[in-house]
C-alpha cells in the first residue's frame, strides 16, 4: 500500500520538433531525463515567478537597470558623505583647532611661570650670596646647576609641547593625507628618540 501512494502518475505533453531537439540537447548536456528537464524548468519558472509568455528583456534594458542602481548607490554615498562624514570632519577639525589653541595657551603660561620661577630663584640666590659671602662660590655653583636644570626642564617642556602639537596635527589629518601622516609620525619618532 505504501508503494502505491508514492508512485507518480505521468502524463504526456506534445511539443514540436524544434523544442524536442532543445530538450534533448539539455538532457545530453546535463545528463538528465526528459521528464526531469521539464520538471526542473517548471520549478524554476515557478520559483522565479517568471511568466514564460513574456519576452526576455533586452541587454540594453538590463544595463540601464544596472546603471540606475549604480546611480542610486552613488547618490546614497554622496548623501551619506554630506550628512554624516562632512559634519564629522568639521567637528574633528573644530576640536583639533580648539586643542591647538589650548596647547599654545598652556605653552605660554608654562613659559611665563618658568620665567617667574627663574626670577625668584635668582632673587633668592642673590640675597643668599649677599648675606653669606663666605659661601658665595658654593651658592654660585648651585645657582648654575639650578639654571641648567631649569634649561633642561624648559627644553623638555618645549619638546613635550611640540610633541602634543604634532599629535594634534596627526589627529586632524584626513583619510587621504597618508603622506602627511607618515611625515608627522617620523617627526614624532625623531622627537621622542632625541636626547
Q: Are residues 134 and 170 in the same domain?
A: yes
70 and 114 belong to one structural domain? yes
30 with 101, same domain: the answer is no
Per-residue model confidence (pLDDT) at position 55? 65
If asked whether residues 71 and 140 sit together in one domain, one would say yes
Enclosing domain of residue 176: 61-193
Q: Is residue 1 part of a domain?
A: no
User: Could you tell me if 157 and 70 lie in one domain?
Assistant: yes
**110 and 140 part of one domain:** yes
Angle between helices 178-193 and 136-172 (to 10 degrees): 160
150 is a domain residue: yes
- 116 & 42 share domain: no
Instruction: Establish if 4 belongs to a structural domain.
Output: no
Instruction: Mark out the alpha helices in the chain (DSSP H runs).
Output: 2-6, 17-30, 34-47, 59-80, 86-131, 136-172, 178-193
Our count of domains for the chain comes to 2
- Is 159 found in the same domain as 99? yes
Same domain, residue pair 29 and 118: no
- pLDDT for 145: 80
Residue 3's pLDDT is what? 54
From 100, 136, 141, 143, select the one nearest 119 (Cα to Cα): 143
- Give the dihedral of Cα atoms 97, 102, 108, 112; nearest 10 deg: 180
Tell whether 80 is covered by a domain: yes
Tens of pLDDT along the chain (195 residues)?
445 556 778 788 888 999 899 999 999 999 999 889 988 988 988 887 777 777 666 667 777 888 888 998 999 988 888 888 888 888 888 888 888 898 888 889 888 888 888 888 888 877 776 776 766 566 677 778 888 888 888 887 887 777 777 777 777 776 566 777 777 778 778 777 776
In this structure, the answer to whether residues 140 and 171 fall within a common structural domain is: yes
Whether residues 71 and 155 fall in one domain:
yes
Q: Which long-range CB contacts under 8 A does 115-123 form with residues at least 24 apart?
A: 117/150, 118/147, 118/150, 121/146, 121/147, 121/150
pLDDT, residue 1, reads 44
pLDDT of residue 5: 56
Q: Is residue 75 part of a domain?
A: yes
pTM of the model: 0.30
The verdict on 88 and 33 lying in the same domain is: no
Domain boundary among 5, 28, 53: 53
Answer yes or no: is 32 within a domain. yes
Amino acid at each position: 500500500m505504501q508503494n502505491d501512494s508514492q508512485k507518480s502518475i505521468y502524463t504526456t505533453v506534445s511539443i514540436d520538433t524544434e523544442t524536442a531537439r532543445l530538450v534533448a540537447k539539455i538532457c545530453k548536456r546535463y545528463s538528465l531525463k526528459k521528464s526531469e528537464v521539464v520538471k526542473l524548468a517548471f520549478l524554476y519558472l515557478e520559483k522565479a515567478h517568471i511568466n514564460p509568455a513574456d519576452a526576455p528583456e533586452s541587454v540594453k534594458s538590463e544595463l540601464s537597470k544596472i546603471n540606475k542602481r549604480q546611480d542610486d548607490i552613488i547618490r546614497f554615498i554622496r548623501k551619506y558623505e554630506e550628512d554624516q562624514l562632512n559634519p564629522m570632519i568639521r567637528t574633528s577639525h573644530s576640536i583639533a583647532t580648539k586643542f591647538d589653541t589650548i596647547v599654545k595657551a598652556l605653552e605660554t603660561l608654562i613659559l611665563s611661570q618658568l620665567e617667574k620661577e627663574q626670577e625668584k630663584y635668582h632673587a633668592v640666590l642673590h640675597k643668599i650670596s649677599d648675606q653669606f659671602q663666605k659661601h658665595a662660590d658654593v651658592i654660585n655653583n648651585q645657582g648654575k646647576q639650578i639654571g641648567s636644570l631649569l634649561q633642561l626642564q624648559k627644553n623638555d617642556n618645549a619638546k613635550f609641547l611640540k610633541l602634543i602639537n604634532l599629535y594634534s596635527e596627526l589627529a586632524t589629518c584626513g583619510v587621504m593625507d597618508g603622506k602627511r601622516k607618515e611625515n608627522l609620525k617620523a617627526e614624532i619618532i625623531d622627537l621622542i628618540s632625541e636626547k
